[in-house]
Chain A
């Protein structure tokens, strides 16, 4: 779905971010404000909360739907092969050394009563090559082979990752919104 469309008009949204082993309090706060901005762009009324604190202002009563999005991040695995680093040194970094990290972003969406509407664990993996060989190869590819939008620059990976995360988060919250409306209508029907 298009994360820049007005998908969440009339929705009150509390984004709750938790720090942990992967994210410090500052990082969790920064994630929270970015995700909040994303949902504000989509027309939602957003309030941000760090950790388990109560929200600073009570949700406005005129909005039909209130959702709480909880974000937690954890590390799944990290590897840093000493053999590859040894090869990197021995070859004057012509053979790139490689570090790898996998992490999961757990997302939970609840309605105003705390009822679980949607849940997902989005997993990401970052592989980083270090070395003259990797840099030279990449730079050559950037300027000879790749189109301008396909170039791999130092910030490309995090841009792609954020874009992906935002799309998936938007879809999840949208699904939760429809689910919450369905629940409300079926409760009203009883």
Chain B
């Protein structure tokens, strides 16, 4: 036994997530890492980080907190994964934007409709958006406005810039979006993009929020 073994023991508690001898790049891609200050790390993982000594540390330390994705990349379609991975921050931002854009609608009842290719992901976005609107202190309903079959046939053939305003008018005309109600529509316009757009429909008039 010499110094080597002792130092190997000393170094063993450190596990690093980067690709290298023991981890291939696909596996490493499943980690998301955040750099934290010592104080933040103590809050995030109590007991796992040596606190700063009373007279300070010998050298500056910060913490790289790496967490493995719950669902490894590749189990879902890439586009869905991109949207779902940051769903909470996206809907929080959209709800904030919606609330800030029309302060006159604070007293209205908000409805949510999602236009996304996958029904399962749509349901997730809708659920999250409703919760985010509730968190903004708005009144939200689970009702969904409806269109007649004929309207749907016409509207689905229009380009997006015409389709959404037309649908909005039809919602108001057929009475499924009543006075005092506002619809937040969350839309993916292009299959290749990873952003979600949002529009507001109130009293038959349509506005793109982003």
- Which residues of A are at the interface with B, using a C-beta cutoff of 8 A? 1, 7, 76-77, 81-82, 87, 90-91, 94-95, 102, 118, 125, 127, 129, 134, 137-138, 141, 146, 150, 152, 160, 171, 174-175, 178-179, 182-183, 185-186, 188-189
| Cβ-defined contact, B4 with A179, below 8 A | no
* B11: chain A residues within 8 A (beta carbon): 95
| Cβ-defined contact, B35 with A76, below 8 A | yes
- Name the distance in Å between A163's Cβ and chain B's nearest Cβ: 10
The chain B residue sitting closest to A172, CB to CB, is B194
Known contacts A137-B21, A138-B21; decide if A189 and B165 are in contact (CB<8 Å).
yes
Query: B75 in the interface, Cβ–Cβ < 8 Å?
Result: no
* B78: chain A residues within 8 A (beta carbon): 1
Residue from the list A1, A95, A152, A178 in contact with B19, Cβ < 8 A: A152
* B210: chain A residues within 8 A (beta carbon): 179
Q: How far is the CA of A175 from the CA of B189 in the complex (A)?
A: 10
- Which residues of B are at the interface with A, using a C-beta cutoff of 8 A? 3-4, 7-8, 11, 16, 18-21, 24-25, 33, 35, 59, 62, 64, 78, 82, 160-161, 165, 189-190, 192-195, 197, 207-208, 210
Residue from the list A95, A152, A189 in contact with B20, Cβ < 8 A: A152
| Cβ-defined contact, B193 with A175, below 8 A | yes
Q: A77-B35, A125-B64, A189-B161 are in contact. List 17 more A-B contacts (CB 8 A).
A: A1-B78, A76-B35, A77-B62, A82-B59, A95-B7, A134-B21, A138-B21, A150-B24, A150-B25, A152-B20, A160-B19, A171-B82, A174-B193, A179-B197, A179-B210, A182-B197, A186-B207
* B195: chain A residues within 8 A (beta carbon): 118, 175, 178-179
* B21: chain A residues within 8 A (beta carbon): 134, 137-138, 141, 152
Q: How far is the CA of A171 from the CA of B190 in the complex (A)?
A: 12
* A189: chain B residues within 8 A (beta carbon): 161, 165
Known contacts A95-B4, A125-B18, A178-B190; decide if A102 and B35 are in contact (CB<8 Å).
yes
- Name the distance in Å between B17's Cβ and chain A's nearest Cβ: 10
Interface residues of B, dominant DSSP = mixed
* A82: chain B residues within 8 A (beta carbon): 59
* Contacts A/B (CB < 8 Å), 11 sampled: A1-B192, A77-B62, A91-B3, A91-B4, A95-B11, A125-B18, A150-B24, A152-B19, A171-B194, A186-B208, A188-B161
| Cβ-defined contact, A186 with B161, below 8 A | yes
Q: How far is the CA of A77 from the CA of B190 in the complex (A)?
A: 37
Q: How far is the CA of A40 from the CA of B20 in the complex (A)?
A: 33
* A182: chain B residues within 8 A (beta carbon): 161, 189, 197, 208
The chain A residue sitting closest to B20, CB to CB, is A152
- Name the distance in Å between B210's Cβ and chain A's nearest Cβ: 8
Q: How far is the CA of A82 from the CA of B60 in the complex (A)?
A: 12
Known contacts A125-B18, A178-B195; decide if A90 and B189 are in contact (CB<8 Å).
no
